[in-house]
Structure 1
């Protein structure tokens, strides 16, 4: 097992990485922290093999962190700023993940780390499917999370700066990205049918041409997603 630490000055961001680590068979989560100095102490005490490290942190930047750590651990950088990629690779980082991070992209980076840190243990593994029947959706204030059962979700709509999750009884607004939510939802029953929509196949009332209907809501089927969507529909008969 590769011992992992998630470091980000935003607790929500490190919690996402932690959830990805926890469901990856060859990774072990040893902790999350928003304090770069706490993370540095854990690395220097030999408690960590791999750090998922945010570059922009107030007390100690990711670049400074790597300079101090040297070769005591391997690093996968996580950031919202692509311009730092070159700086990161000068320190021989394993990979560079651009936020928002999908589980698929995370898993590829983790496999790279496995090949470097534990090459004898490398095997081709399909990412595990979600085992829970609910999801925690980040609310509209800091540290607010709303538990929603999968079977309550009708569809999810991505707008310019936020995402709306629709259930039969409420609309939940979250600042998570649509892609981030997509990686956390089981497929099926959830399926991306448009760049702006994820729907529950269980909730479809009717499909008519280039649109499907959930309750009275018409949802477009995008050109990019049409072939895959109708393949799923045919196979579900």
Structure 2
């Protein structure tokens, strides 16, 4: 089994102790050291072999985002912070994952699993298999006195508007009294994601992400705090498929 050598950098003692405990419980992880000083941690990484660094973001001397840039190409990084607003920064810095404190052991293991794939990928022999897509290509939606068929490829995003929803497509907007939940359940899994209590978006229609919102055909859609971590995690997972 490949051993992943880790460090933890945090200027608060309790998170340091928690991450140290999690690392010691994981058989294929080896703790190189814990550090309250980012500068000290940087010195260690430049002299010793480190595979993975757990970095807090808000620290004295330099913050975790700055430290991550200094560690680039030396080791992989997982951010641990109490502040979800830095998730986009972490994504842009190509971090393995972004953990919100307090970090559960289950969430820690999920993150480590991703790191393990990146640091020590197993050699695999893949046999090409023709994939057959059995997911639905259209959905039927009641609007007014009629039922219309909507191509799933045409859907840009779905917007909740109090007593009804609006399905925004390449060809216009469809208003229906169908519930948000029922519409979401009728869509093929993996192609759409909830980013706000009032918005469900098509992954392949997102053109950009900036300052807490995403854009689809110049339409800015807010990314709700409740959905932020799951959204950026889903993007990262899609990148590694």
- TM normalised by structure 1 equals 0.50
The structure whose Rg is larger is 2
- TM normalised by structure 2 equals 0.49
